[in-house]
Structures are given as C-alpha cells and as structure tokens.
Structure 1
Amino acid sequence: MAVQDTDLMAPLRDARARTLALLDGLDGEALMGPRLSIVNPLLWEIGHLAWFHEHFVLRGLDGRPPLRADADSLYDSASVPHATRWDLPLPTLDGTLAYMEQVQDALAARIAGREPTPDETYLYRLTGLHEDMHAEAFTYTRQTLGQPRPRFAAPSPDEAGPLPGDVTVGGGILRLGAEREATRFVFDNEKWAHPVEIAPFRIARAPVTNAEFSAFVEDGGYRDPRHWDADGRAWLTESGATHPAYWRRGSAGWEVRIFERHEPLKPHRPVIHVNWHEARAWCRWAGRRLPSEAEWEAAALAERASDGSLGGTKRTYPWGEAAPDTRRANLDGAWLGTVDVAACPDGDSPWGCRQMMGNVWEWTESAFLPFPGFAPDAYREYSEPSFGTRKVLRGGAWATRARMVTGMYRNFFGPDRRDVFAGFRTVAL
C-alpha cells in the first residue's frame, strides 16, 4: 500500500502547529530574549527549524538551491556559534514565518501522491522529530525566562498522591537499545541492542517528590559537603544554589515559579528542574543511588520471567505496545506541568514502576556514550559531539511529544543543567 503524503506530512504539520502555539503571545523583545548559554533567541531558533527541513530534504535529497541565499550563514547550528546568534541580521518575524511556510509547502508538494522511498521516509520523520525536540526547548525556555504560560493548557487532573516503596527487578541479561528489526523511527544513539548483564536491584516505584526533596533542603543538604562529590561542590560554589531552581520561601512554605507565576509547592509532584549533581547529592543524603541506564531500561521495559528474573523480551513502552494516552503517561504538554507521582495508573511497567514515561525526564548514573558499533546517521551532529561530556536521561517529560519518545529513547544533557524538565528516581544500595 502506498504511503500517502498525509502519512509523512501530518506529524510535520502538527509539530508546526505546536511551534506556532509556543510563539503565541510573545512580542519582539521576547523573541530575542537575554543572551544566555542555555537558550537560543527564539527568532533564530524557529528559522533554524525551517533551515533543517530544507537542508536535509529539499537540498539533501533533491539538490535544490537554498530558498534563502543567507540560510546557511544564519541558521546552520553546526557552523554558527551559539554566542553570535543574537547578533545575526535575522529576518523579521513575518519574514521568518514566510520562510517556514515556504519550506513546508515545498515538503508537501514533493511527496504528494506518490510512495516515498525509505530515505525520504527517514528524513521526513527525522525533521519532524527535530521540530518536536525544539518545541520542548521552546517550552523550557519560556520557563527559564519567566514568560507567560502558553495558552493551550488543559485543567490539571485531580491530586493522586504519593506512591512510596520499591520493587525488586530480577537479574539477567538485558538487550540494551533498539533491535535492528524495529519498525519505528530509531535514533542513531539507540543503535543497536546488545547484551548487558544486570544484577537484581530494588528501584523506587515513583520519582522523588517535592516533599522528599524539600526534606533534604531543610536538613541543610545544600550546605553539607558530605553529600557532594568534587564536581558537585564546584558547581555548588559557582552557582550559589541553596534549593532547586525556581523555588522560593513564601509565607506559608515553599513556592515554585511555573512560567510567570509563583504557586505553592505541591508535595506529591515529582521534583523537577534539578540537575545531576543535585540528584546524586540527594541520593547520598538518603542512602540511595541513581540507576544505570541499563537498570532503568530493565525496570521500564523488560518482561518478567516466571522465576522473577529478566525475561528475554522488552516492550516499547512500560505498559506494552499501545500508544501513550493520559491514563498511561503525562506527555505532549497536555496539562503544561507535572502531575502527582501516583497519577497515570495504567502506565506501570512489568515490575510495578509508574511514570517511567512522561512527567519528568529521569537522570541516570550513566555517561552518554555510544553503543558498540555506533555510526552516525544523516544528522551527524545529533549524538556524536556529545559523547563523554553528558549524562543520560530517560523516559520523557510532560512537555515531550509522545510520538518522539519510547522506553529506549536516550536524552542527554550536561550534569549542571537545571533548566530542562528533569527529575530522578532512585535505587536502594
């Protein structure tokens, strides 16, 4: 059966609709923002999206000349240094939106009414998922800068409470990563599955909550050097942090800034906007540790054998193969924020862990390294430049698009990043 143009274009159009929704309500000054190392000027970033589509599909597949003569000098992230992006002669917002529309119309026209080749299918999916990644970045940029909450939020669900306790995950052999016969889109750093031996371990049913993390703060955890390794102490000294990002003390207790508003800290939501150093410091204080990414994937996806060991197969999602929905996972920005850790009751893994998809990205102990036999795909700058300098996060966050993430998706950020939607769950010593 031929793949119609809507099969490839529908996700691209949906991704673009989310991009435009995240632009909504921002004026000219907000489209540039302050010069920070952890954000891009939004006006540059949306133009980069159009360039990425054009570069890999229209120019990469068809050899077309660029639609803008200055596109590479403006928007090629591999060659335009981050610090210079505020100084570029960028088009106006109207001019940038026109460029984005021109590229997307050309993408639709070239694929209409015919069956795409495997290379076309791969690149259309890649460019759509790339825009999904930037949509999450746009969202945490709005949070970083205290910009207004986007307007597409649905009301938050009722409180669901905590989910205490550990589960035991049996030992055995896990095939870490994606199998070669996978039919879904597979990112280069997921390739390919390889055997990893795992000893039995006990892992928390849920991520660490605000209430659990605030106990560490109140106990002087940020002031006690015993909880921090040398790199963590160096970060602590440089940052001056005394609590998680966006927290402040209010008249009735801790408050947290969510976009432009401060709200009372909800005790049973997962702690979010903590970095790898903060997660490990909490673990030392609590007598716990972070899971390795292999342990995380085993707890999330591995089937359970009758003798309690790891089975020989994995699921795509913790609950199975069905697509994510709000009973299983807090994804897609449905509520524009976290939910209680006991929410999403239909999303448990075979071992009884909840919310291993959605709500918050979860830090692991593991460095971001290539799997055996790694080779970069078409987007060569995606993974390879970051190997050895970042830590692996798993599972997706509330702002992550559901079509992008599976239980094998590997996110990666530097251990000092607090702006991303990251929390953590822990393993017993």
Structure 2
Amino acid sequence: MNDFKEQIAAELVAVRNRSLAYTDTEDDLLVRQHSPLMSPLVWDLAHVGNYEELWVLREAGGITPLRPEMDDLYDAFKHPRKNRPSLPILGPDEARRYIEGVRGRALDVLDTIDLHGPDPLHRDGFVFGLVIQHEHQHDETMLATLQLSKEPGLVRDGVLPPGRATGDEEVFVPAGSFLMGTDVQPWAYDNERPAYRVHLPGYWIDRFPVGNDAYAAFVEDGGYDDPHWWAPEGWLWRQESHASAPLFWTREGGTWWRTRFGRPEPVPMEEPVQHVCWYEADAYARWAGRRLPTEAEWEKACGWDAATGRSRTYPWGDDGPRPDLANLGHRAARPAPLGAFPAGASPYGAEQMIGDVWEWTDSVFLPYPGFRSFPYREYSEVFFGKDYRVLRGGSWAADPAAVRTTFRNWDHPIRRQIFSGFRCARSASPEEV
C-alpha cells in the first residue's frame, strides 16, 4: 500500500475509533431516543456502516451487497429522525459487528483500487473522502445527541489555550472580486463546486465570533421580548418556542448557567456563544446595529489571499490544522476562549473562522453557477432553496478532515441543538471605502 493509501487507511481508523468511543456506553442509552430531533445513537452507528457499504463496497468495489435488507432502514430520506426508534434496526452488538465487517472489506477495496484512474469516484480517493467526512459529520451529530441526553460523564473534555482581550473589533475587507468555491480540493463536495468569480463591495466583519458576554447583554436588554429586533418569522418562532436565551442556558441568582454534557456550570463569558438558531443570530445582529455576513462575505474574509490571487485551504494557509491554529476534532468539549488562536488569523485578520462554532450566514443554501450533482442528488441538490440557511467554518466537534474554507453546511433556521454561533458584519460607508 502506497503512502496516500496508508494516509486514507489511517483516516478510516481514526474516524471509526471516534464513532466507537461515542457509542461505548450502556445499551439503553444507545437505543433510546433522547430528542425527536435526533436519531438513537445506535441508528447513527449502523448508518455510517451502511453508507460505507453502499459507496465503497458496492459502487467503488463492485462487491455484492452484504445486507441489502438494511438499505431501507438506514435511508435517511425515507425515515425522519423522530420515526427511527420504531424501525427494526440493529442492536448495539450487531451494529458493531456489521460495521466491522464492512470496514474489513473496505480496506480490501482500498488496497486494490486505482486512485489515479479516470473514474471520478476513485480519483484522488474521492469515495473514501466521502465516507470519512460523512462519518465525522455523524460523529458530530452523536455529540449533539449526547448533549441533549443530559447524561453526565459520557463525553471527554480537554485543555484549551487561554484567550485574550478582544473588545468590539472588526476587520475591513476591501471591495473587489474573489474566487468562491473550489475546483482543486479533491475531497470537496459537489455544492462547493465549481469555483466562480464573485465581486463584493467593501465591508467590515467581526474579528471574532460573538461572545457569550455580548450575547448576554442582548438577552438582559430584553432582546427576546422586543419584536423590533426579529424578522416576522423569527418572532413567530420566538413566541412558539418560548425561547428566552441560548439553548441550555438558565438564570439563577443573577448568574447565567449552562448545562454542558449533563453538568451545570457558569456560562464562560469569554467563549463564543453557541446553541443559537439563525433567528436568534439575526435578531442579535439587528440589535447590535449590524447584520449577518453573506456566505460570500464570510468565505472571502476567511480564505481569500489578495496578494496571491487565490483562496487558502484554511485561513492561515494550506497546511493542516495545528493546536495553535484552531479548535477542532473534539480537542475539548467546548469552544475556545475568544482570541485563543492569533496564529490562525485569515489574510484580513479575522480569527477563529475555522473551529469553535459553526457560524450562521445570511444566505440561503443555493447551488453555484454550473453546479452538477455528484455522486448523488440527495447530498446537496434536494436541499437547495429558501428553507435552509448556510453555516460556515466548523465547530469544536468537527474534524479537520471535514472542514475547509470552502466547506458549506446548512440547516433549518430554527435549529439550536447544533454547535452553532455567528459573527456580525456591516457594509462600509463611502467614507470608510
């Protein structure tokens, strides 16, 4: 096996170890549905194996289906999450045996496949990148489920670097065109392609994500009780949900508390706010006299290098994430303090754009000009439209293999259980330009 194949094999091992770690608990917790928003953990575990069987074994390897009867059970489009507990899905032990059998055969396919041939599914190991990223995304979903379970002691924590004083800093992005999307990232999804030229007027964007301290000021100023700050559909959501603060926040004795993986703790005011939906982010931005950045504004501020005329893979360059650059891969079970990664700044000086929290943008999820579905419509195409808002950047729970400057995430604007935050932007005045 050559070096590239060994690298892919190592990524497969790493992501599977992660999946098994998040499901290394009592069977009752794995089969229980902790929220109608989420699948039972054991469904996610078997689903990643079924997905790997479909794409690596069958599509890339031409192997006869191992368990064709499971395709329907683990089809995410046929069965909404709230209905999955009623399906005759595999139990924990059987799910582990199934995914282990799939993985052994997947490594056999990797050993024999031509990664330099004409088949776009094979070329540059795309099909393996597909399943690796897919499993990491489900691992992040598992973490969201574990947070909703409110069971303590199931998720490891870790140490993060200290932050630094931030204030209300913003950075300027001059007017001009940039290349949005990618034609060169081998594991990029279809919705990131093709690259195309976008012209933007000058604008300002926050140097850091909005922090808990700033968001608490919005809450304490009555932001949740004033319809003036909310879009009409956002105010309707606020009334129906009775939300009064970020998800998992409570107020006791003049102090804000949050429940994090089953344990209550004071809200650390120096961290980026997380577990807010798009409507909350939009309302805060209006209250602050700002707005959410468009998806294009976010991507240009994150990775465009005007000096070289190209987009960087990450804000700091093309080299992969290091501990001093970003908070990724469940290094700790929380965002890092604001200002913790000055070395990870973008060419324009924006910080913490990769990792910590997914960042809501103002944009709905739409295809780029020249978009073509690959390898299947249901990954991106069926979600295009006004029902979904785009998030960028990746959270502390996202793995480095599944984030980059051009990566696009999307969700309904009411979603709060995800590890989501935001930063604000504003258009530059003629005098500032």
Q: State the TM bucket, normalised to the shorter chain.
A: over 0.9
Question: How many Å separate the matches in 2 of 1:188 and 1:147?
Answer: 37
2:417 corresponds to which of 410, 413, 419: 419
CA shift digits 1:236-268 (9 cap, x unpaired):
111000111000112350011111011111111
SS of 1:29's equivalent in the other structure is helix
Question: How many Å separate the matches in 1 of 2:35 and 2:379?
Answer: 21
Amino acid at match of 1:212: A
Question: How many Å separate the matches in 1 of 2:378 and 2:71?
Answer: 15
Question: How many Å separate the matches in 2 of 1:177 and 1:5?
Answer: 26
Residue 166 (1) aligns with residue 164 (2): no
Give the direction of change, closer, same or farther, for the CA distance of 1:395–1:50 in structure 2 (3 Å limit). same
Q: Report if the CA contact (8 A) 1:35-1:83 is conserved.
A: no
Question: How many Å separate the matches in 1 of 2:306 and 2:95?
Answer: 51
Residue 28 (1) aligns with residue 27 (2): yes
Q: Report if the CA contact (8 A) 2:328-2:396 is conserved.
A: yes
SS of 1:101's equivalent in the other structure is helix
CA shift digits 1:143-199 (9 cap, x unpaired):
122133545432343353435311111010111111x2x143111100011111100
Amino acid at match of 2:109: R
Equivalent in the alignment of 1:77: 76
Question: How many Å separate the matches in 1 of 2:376 and 2:113?
Answer: 25
Residue 250 (1) aligns with residue 252 (2): yes
1:209-358 matched pairs, under 5 angstroms: 209-251=211-253, 253-305=255-307, 312-358=309-355
Equivalent in the alignment of 1:382: 379
1:83-98 matched pairs, under 5 angstroms: 83-98=82-97
SS of 1:238's equivalent in the other structure is helix
Equivalent in the alignment of 1:145: 149
Moved more, 2-11 or 141-150: 2-11
Equivalent in the alignment of 2:138: 134
Q: Report if the CA contact (8 A) 2:61-2:109 is conserved.
A: no
> TM-score with structure 1 length normalisation?
0.94
Q: Report if the CA contact (8 A) 1:163-1:205 is conserved.
A: no
Amino acid at match of 1:7: Q
SS of 1:106's equivalent in the other structure is helix
Equivalent in the alignment of 2:41: 42
2:389 corresponds to which of 374, 388, 391: 391
> TM-score with structure 2 length normalisation?
0.93
Instruction: Report the CA distance between 1:417 and its aligned residue.
Output: 0.3
Question: How many Å separate the matches in 2 of 1:204 and 1:141?
Answer: 30
Amino acid at match of 2:166: P
CA shift digits 1:353-396 (9 cap, x unpaired):
11011111111100110001111111321111111120111111
Question: How many Å separate the matches in 1 of 2:321 and 2:29?
Answer: 33
Amino acid at match of 2:408: R
Give the direction of change, closer, same or farther, for the CA distance of 1:404–1:304 in structure 2 (3 Å limit). same
Amino acid at match of 1:197: H
User: Deviating runs (4+, > 6 A) in structure 1?
Assistant: none
Equivalent in the alignment of 1:155: 159
Q: Report if the CA contact (8 A) 2:56-2:109 is conserved.
A: no
Amino acid at match of 2:108: A
Question: How many Å separate the matches in 1 of 2:108 and 2:420?
Answer: 39
Structure 2: gaps of 5 or more residues: 428-433
Q: Report if the CA contact (8 A) 1:162-1:340 is conserved.
A: no
SS of 1:254's equivalent in the other structure is strand
Question: How many Å separate the matches in 1 of 2:67 and 2:422?
Answer: 43
Instruction: Report the CA distance between 1:3 and its aligned residue.
Output: 5.5
Q: Report if the CA contact (8 A) 1:4-1:113 is conserved.
A: no
SS of 1:78's equivalent in the other structure is coil
Instruction: Report the CA distance between 1:69 and its aligned residue.
Output: 4.2
Q: Report if the CA contact (8 A) 1:333-1:401 is conserved.
A: yes
Q: Report if the CA contact (8 A) 2:271-2:338 is conserved.
A: yes
Moved more, 223-232 or 377-386: 377-386
Instruction: Report the CA distance between 1:34 and its aligned residue.
Output: 2.9
Instruction: Report the CA distance between 1:404 and its aligned residue.
Output: 1.2
Instruction: Report the CA distance between 1:35 and its aligned residue.
Output: 6.5
Instruction: Report the CA distance between 1:5 and its aligned residue.
Output: 4.0
Give the direction of change, closer, same or farther, for the CA distance of 1:113–1:67 in structure 2 (3 Å limit). closer
Question: How many Å separate the matches in 1 of 2:229 and 2:3?
Answer: 55
SS of 2:31's equivalent in the other structure is coil
Instruction: Report the CA distance between 1:65 and its aligned residue.
Output: 2.8
Q: Report if the CA contact (8 A) 2:38-2:82 is conserved.
A: no
Amino acid at match of 2:265: E
Instruction: Report the CA distance between 1:28 and its aligned residue.
Output: 2.2
Instruction: Report the CA distance between 1:142 and its aligned residue.
Output: 0.8
Amino acid at match of 1:199: P
Length, aligned pairs only:
421
Q: Report if the CA contact (8 A) 2:23-2:42 is conserved.
A: no
Question: How many Å separate the matches in 2 of 1:352 and 1:83?
Answer: 43
SS of 2:309's equivalent in the other structure is strand
Question: How many Å separate the matches in 2 of 1:282 and 1:195?
Answer: 31
Amino acid at match of 2:325: R
CA shift digits 1:92-116 (9 cap, x unpaired):
2111100000000011123326643
Identity %: 38
Residue 368 (1) aligns with residue 365 (2): yes
CA shift digits 1:257-304 (9 cap, x unpaired):
111011111111001000110001011111010110111111111124
Question: How many Å separate the matches in 1 of 2:3 and 2:112?
Answer: 9
Give the direction of change, closer, same or farther, for the CA distance of 1:160–1:359 in structure 2 (3 Å limit). same
Q: Report if the CA contact (8 A) 1:302-1:350 is conserved.
A: yes
Amino acid at match of 2:104: D
Question: How many Å separate the matches in 2 of 1:188 and 1:213?
Answer: 35
Structure 1: gaps of 5 or more residues: 306-310
Instruction: Report the CA distance between 1:57 and its aligned residue.
Output: 1.7
Give the direction of change, closer, same or farther, for the CA distance of 1:150–1:223 in structure 2 (3 Å limit). same
